[in-house]
Amino acid sequence: MIVKLKLAELLDRKDMSQKELAELTGIRPSAISELCRGIKERVQLDHLSRIATALNITDIRELIDLDEDADE
């Protein structure tokens, strides 16, 4: 199973820049960029929590997709 973040899509929808999200969450801008581009292999749960709070997300499915058929 592969978890994919929909962070870039959410930022577009909320008209928010990566820099603004980094400032709101305290997460390094480079880490936000990597999450948006999908090149980070691991995501800290604390980061997901801070991102969800900053984007006012109550349903985690707004932020992540689970691909159960993908090869690991």
Q: Model-level pTM?
A: 0.85
Per-residue confidence of the chain (72 residues) as pLDDT tens digits? 677 899 999 999 999 999 999 999 999 999 999 999 988 878 899 999 999 999 999 998 899 988 777 665
Fold of the CATH domain 2-67: 434 Repressor (Amino-terminal Domain) (1.10.260)
Task: With H, G, I as helix, E, B as strand and everything else as coil, classify residue 3.
Answer: strand
Query: Any alpha helices (H) in the chain, and if so which ranges?
Result: 7-13, 18-25, 29-37, 45-54
Minimal CA–CA distance to 5: which of 29, 37, 44?
Answer: 37
